[in-house]
Chain A
Amino acid sequence: KQEVTQIPAALSVPEGENLVLNCSFTDSAIYNLQWFRQDPGKGLTSLLLIQSSQREQTSGRLNASLDKSSGRSTLYIAASQPGDSATYLCAGKSGAGSYQLTFGKGTKLSVIP
């Protein structure tokens, strides 16, 4: 059974700093990994999806990497802004026949102006 862990649970950084959010998973037979953003009281916004055959994906100031052998994914945010403050969730999909996402509990990011 896939288990996904995100550490730390909360992170506070000054505006303009580059930062990395970590996600680890137990089943290396991961099919894809998706990073989401959740604002308070809102649903999830998909940020990036990395296929198992890929090592990274980029969108604007965001870069996500996937290392199946070590069971890790990272989300890199460049030049952080107060608007980046939110909870970031990673979720893995294991196996071609699987369809549900297994979520970590998230990292709550606060970017201080």
Chain B
Amino acid sequence: GAGVSQSPSNKVTEKGKDVELRCDPISGHTALYWYRQSLGQGLEFLIYFQGNSAPDKSGLPSDRFSAERTGGSVSTLTIQRTQQEDSAVYLCASSAQTGSYIDEQYFGPGTRLTVT
């Protein structure tokens, strides 16, 4: 079956512009996660959606970052007034369930964001 897909694969934007990154999870997966991988850094958690519950936004680095998930499926991560330090690879993952030993996360190919 289809895996997690993300678009665009690459995005170059000017400092101060807004960007939207899209994630389409594996069909039937109720949990969706956004992570960020910066050069020289590990992956850091940004935000988590589970079903119709309120998302956990505790990992978002600033109020310029927001995300939504429509219809329990596709998610959009929005970064407003982009800064150069926002340059990173943004990875989306989905899983079938949480709180389970077998809750394996499957990752998309990522969106490489470059802020000039």
Contacts and interface: CB of A to CB of B under 8 A. Distances in A.
Nearest to B10: A41
Query: What interface size band does chain A fall in?
Result: 20 to 34
Given A89-B43, A101-B45, A103-B43, A44 B107 contact: yes
Given A89-B43, A99-B31, A100-B48, A51 B102 contact: yes
Interface in B1-51: 4, 6, 31, 33, 35, 41-45, 48, 50
Interface string B73-116: 00000000000000000010100001101111111111010000
A93 B93 CA distance: 14
Contacts of A102: 45
Given A34-B105, A43-B107, A46-B106, A100 B45 contact: yes
Contacts of A52: 101
B59 interface: yes
A78 B6 CA distance: 33
B42 A104 contact: yes
Contact of B102 (A4, A49, A97, A103): A49
A70 to B, nearest CB: 20
Interface of A: 4, 31-32, 34, 36, 41-46, 49, 51-53, 89, 91, 93, 96-97, 99-106
16 contacts: A4-B42, A43-B91, A43-B107, A43-B108, A43-B110, A44-B107, A46-B105, A49-B102, A53-B101, A97-B99, A99-B48, A99-B98, A99-B103, A100-B56, A101-B33, A105-B42
